[in-house]
Structure 1
Amino acid sequence: MSETVRQIKEQVMNLACRPTTSAPNDTDDESDEDDYVEPTP
């Protein structure tokens, strides 16, 4: 168990160290949510 937990922690640290390239994607996702709304007749 300790080995898997260590691997998970390493992955989390790697994600945290990565540049926040997902920040602009989050804003795009918010605008994309409108696409999922049923079109009005």
Structure 2
Amino acid sequence: MRMSLYAGLSAGGLIILAASSLLWLRYGERIYFDKMAAAIAGCF
């Protein structure tokens, strides 16, 4: 049970990282990266 939870969290994290990196590569804005980092930090 615990392993499936970790697998789901890691998969979700990878998807979020992939999506954000693709958007960052597309727009190339440092401001976007800072907003994303602030949003991720706000989750914790």
TM-score, reference length from structure 1? 0.43
The structure with more radius of gyration: 1
Task: Judging by fraction of residues, say which structure has more helix.
Answer: 2
Greater relative contact order (CA < 8 Å, ≥ 6 in sequence): 2
